[in-house]
């Protein structure tokens, strides 16, 4: 499914961050034009995009939009032509950014220009610009295609109405725009990271800890808390029933103790660089960077999925993104010329059996994800279940037609074969690159859960599923339908 009008994003700078922005926009249905003079840009962006295609769809509980069109422009002017949004992700050199903004604004006017900078304030970026009101900071975090945060930092010269539009654009691609009301060096998040980084350098330099031991302290302890509660909420809980006031009273005096060296910086010399790099090589050198990226992405997917199940933290952003996408999907569903795509997913390592192929239970899981998305579309969602009614699966017939392996992108489609007031007969196809790897035929029964028996579905649900049945009336009946589902072909 996709939007009726395709928007265009221009990405200036195709490195790790620019490539991540490109993937985030592309996989959410935007066309993307990239300008980067590096002759290796297409290869580098392609590798980022390959990782993103394997990761981002795993966070969605509905069909992803059709991927936008990616192009590489020969000039900045060509890249920004017709763009609805422009993201600058070039090197952290202010003179270079100023030249880029000047070239952009010679070519287009009135288009938002976000900068991925972590080091410059928007007022510095706007110096000498033809139209400073369109320039602001949009600072993301790597990997941009998975992590939702984007720090949005305007200056007093920035167009406030434009910033509101930009925040809506970013929400539409599944990001969390954090509007920073007052510009400051390094914005918000990187100020924390810089403080932790300085302390870590001292700990290594003074021989207190290795790079691996510091990483273990973070990922085995407070990093897990911060990932879902942040700083202040974590410390509020630490205060016990008395809350934050008790925590501050108990630990506030510690701020006067000479624990930290955050206000002091170790001398940055070859000896320190070699010490840090050597320990890091010993810790992680057995993995390539691409392997580490894939490991990171799969770990983030698992963490984010758990948060999504609990509607908490970054998981709430994912749920809201799914809801926005579903809200605009009705007409697109009915306009599909064939079976409707309701789910996209990526085969994860935990889905694989001892043969190296997707295990049988995961074929059923993939079909359930597809059927659940269909049920949400017709109105039989979790709120409906809470009202005491639901569709139960009465019969299932699965055919295994192909082998799915780790990293394969699967699509789940639905064809409605029959509807009456109590039953829905579905034919689900699981596709890899358009080829069936499995089909799942199901008979769903509408149930009054309190009474424990089948009952007629309400008119609103019957109308929606009936409209899809009518749209599918002209489709050929699948040859395998009815073989074991308990109805005659």
Structural domain containing residue 336: 330-471
pLDDT of residue 253: 66
Assess whether pLDDT exceeds 70 at residue 329. Answer: no
Integer Cα distance of 271 and 278 in angstroms: 10
Q: Reply yes or no: is the peptide bond before residue 143 cis, omega within 30 of 0.
A: yes
| Structure tokens, 295 | 């490991």
| Structure tokens, 380 | 């039989």
| Structure tokens, 385 | 């279940």
For residues 175 and 197, membership in a common domain is answered with no
| Structure tokens, 345 | 């997913």
Of 5 and 449, the structure prediction assigns the larger pLDDT to 449
**pLDDT cut 70: percent of the chain above it:** 93
Rg, Å, the chain Cα set: 26
430, 411 contact by CB (below 8 A) = yes
pLDDT tens figures, 87-100 = 999 999 999 999 99
pLDDT of residue 3: 41
pLDDT tens figures, 252-268 = 666 556 555 666 777 87
Assess whether pLDDT exceeds 70 at residue 487. Answer: no
Integer Cα distance of 171 and 164 in angstroms: 11
Assess whether pLDDT exceeds 80 at residue 285. Answer: yes
pLDDT of residue 2: 39
pLDDT tens figures, 27-67 = 999 999 999 999 999 999 999 999 999 888 888 876 778 89
For residues 281 and 170, membership in a common domain is answered with no
244 within domain boundaries: yes
316 within domain boundaries: no
Backbone angles phi, psi at 123, to 5 degrees: -65, -30
For residues 207 and 103, membership in a common domain is answered with no
26 within domain boundaries: yes
For residues 149 and 56, membership in a common domain is answered with yes
pLDDT of residue 262: 61
Q: 41-55 vs 289-309: helix axis angle to the nearest 10?
A: 30
pLDDT of residue 486: 55
Q: CATH no. for residue 454?
A: 3.10.129.10
pLDDT of residue 102: 97
Last residue of a domain, which of 155, 179, 203? Answer: 179
DSSP string, 53-102: HHHGGGG-SSPPPPP--EEE-SSHHHHHTT-SEEEE---S-HHHHHHHHH
The alpha-helical segments, DSSP class H, found in 260-359 are 270-284, 289-309, 314-327, 330-335
Kindly report the three-state secondary structure assignment for every residue of 216-264: HHHHHHHHHHHHHHCCHHHHHHHCHHHHHHHHHHHHHHHHHCCCCCCCC
For residues 348 and 414, membership in a common domain is answered with yes
Average pLDDT over residues 141-152: 95
408, 432 contact by CB (below 8 A) = yes
3 within domain boundaries: no
For residues 32 and 75, membership in a common domain is answered with yes
Question: Residue 174 — left, alpha, or beta (φ > 0 → left; ψ -120 to 50 → alpha)?
Answer: left
**pLDDT cut 90: percent of the chain above it:** 59
207 within domain boundaries: yes
Of the listed ranges 118-122, 302-306, 385-389, 449-453, the least confidently predicted one is 302-306
- Tokens 């810790």 sit on residue: 283
For residues 467 and 334, membership in a common domain is answered with yes
pLDDT of residue 232: 84
What residues are paired with 283 via a beta bridge? none
For residues 235 and 377, membership in a common domain is answered with no
Q: CATH no. for residue 86?
A: 3.40.50.720
| Structure tokens, 344 | 């996209």
Number of other CB atoms surrounding residue 445 within 10 Å: 17
171, 321 contact by CB (below 8 A) = yes
pLDDT tens figures, 226-259 = 888 888 888 787 778 877 777 777 766 665 565 5
Number of other CB atoms surrounding residue 356 within 10 Å: 9
pLDDT tens figures, 155-186 = 999 999 999 999 999 999 999 999 999 999 99
pLDDT of residue 54: 84
Integer Cα distance of 51 and 267 in angstroms: 37
488 within domain boundaries: no
Integer Cα distance of 239 and 253 in angstroms: 15
Instruction: Give Cα 346 to chain centroid, integer Å.
Output: 13
Question: 407: pLDDT confidence band, cut at 50, 70 and 90?
Answer: confident
300 within domain boundaries: no
What average pLDDT does the chain have?
89
Average pLDDT over residues 434-444: 95
433, 365 contact by CB (below 8 A) = no
Structural domains in the chain (count): 3
For residues 34 and 150, membership in a common domain is answered with yes
Q: CATH no. for residue 275?
A: 1.10.1040.10
pLDDT tens figures, 295-326 = 888 888 888 888 888 888 888 899 899 888 77
| Structure tokens, 46 | 């392609």
For residues 247 and 379, membership in a common domain is answered with no
Backbone angles phi, psi at 16, to 5 degrees: -60, -45
For residues 254 and 162, membership in a common domain is answered with no
Integer Cα distance of 160 and 154 in angstroms: 8
438, 411 contact by CB (below 8 A) = no
Assess whether pLDDT exceeds 80 at residue 331. Answer: no
For residues 385 and 257, membership in a common domain is answered with no
Assess whether pLDDT exceeds 50 at residue 1. Answer: no
Question: 82: pLDDT confidence band, cut at 50, 70 and 90?
Answer: very high
324 within domain boundaries: no
């Amino acid at each position: 499914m996709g939007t009726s009008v395709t928007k265009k994003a221009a990405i200036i700078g195709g490195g790790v961050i620019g490539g991540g922005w490109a993937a985030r926009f592309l996989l959410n249905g935007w066309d993307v034009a990239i300008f980067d003079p590096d002759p290796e840009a297409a290869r580098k962006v392609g590798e980022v995009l390959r990782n993103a295609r394997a990761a981002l769809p795993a966070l969605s509980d509905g069909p992803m939009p059709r991927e936008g069109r990616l192009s590489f422009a020969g000039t900045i002017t060509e890249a920004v032509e017709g763009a609805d949004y422009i993201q600058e992700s070039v090197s952290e050199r202010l003179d270079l950014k100023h030249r880029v903004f000047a070239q952009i604004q010679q070519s287009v006017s009135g288009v938002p220009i976000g900068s991925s900078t972590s080091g410059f304030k928007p007022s510095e970026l706007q110096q000498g610009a033809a139209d400073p009101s369109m320039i602001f900071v949009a600072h993301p975090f790597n990997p941009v295609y998975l992590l939702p945060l984007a720090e949005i930092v305007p200056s007093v010269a920035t167009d406030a109405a434009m910033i509101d539009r930009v925040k809506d654009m970013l929400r539409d691609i599944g990001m969390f725009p954090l509007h920073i009301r007052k510009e400051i060096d390094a914005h918000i998040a990187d100020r924390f990271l810089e403080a932790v980084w300085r302390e870590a350098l001292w700990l290594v330099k003074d021989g207190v800890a290795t790079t691996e031991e510091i990483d273990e302290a973070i990922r085995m302890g407070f990093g897990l808390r911060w990932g879902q509660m942040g700083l202040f909420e974590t410390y509020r809980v630490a205060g016990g029933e008395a809350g934050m006031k008790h925590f501050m009273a108990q630990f506030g005096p510690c701020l006067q103790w000479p624990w930290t060296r955050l206000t002091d910086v170790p001398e940055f010399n070859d000896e320190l660089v070699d010490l840090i790099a050597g320990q890091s090589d010993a810790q992680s050198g057995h993995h390539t960077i691409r392997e580490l990226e894939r490991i990171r992405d799969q770990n983030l997917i698992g963490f984010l999925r758990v948060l999504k199940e609990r509607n908490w933290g970054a998981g709430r952003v994912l749920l809201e993104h799914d809801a926005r996408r579903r809200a605009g999907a009705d007409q697109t569903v009915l306009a599909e010329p064939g079976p409707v795509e309701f789910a996209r997913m990526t085969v994860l390592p935990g889905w694989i059996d001892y043969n190296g192929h997707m295990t049988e239970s995961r074929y059923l899981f993939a079909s359930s994800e597809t059927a659940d998305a269909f049920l949400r579309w017709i109105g039989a969602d979790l709120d409906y279940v809470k009202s005491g009614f639901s569709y139960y699966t009465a019969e299932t017939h699965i055919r295994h037609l192909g082998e799915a392996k780790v990293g394969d992108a699967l699509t789940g489609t639905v064809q409605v074969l029959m509807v009456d007031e109590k039953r829905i007969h579905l034919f689900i196809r699981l596709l890899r690159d358009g080829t069936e790897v499995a089909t799942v035929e199901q008979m769903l029964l509408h149930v009054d859960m309190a009474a424990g028996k089948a009952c007629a579905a309400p008119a609103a649900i019957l109308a929606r599923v009936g409209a899809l049945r009518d749209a599918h009336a002209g489709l050929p009946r699948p040859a395998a339908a009815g073989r074991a589902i308990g109805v005659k072909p």
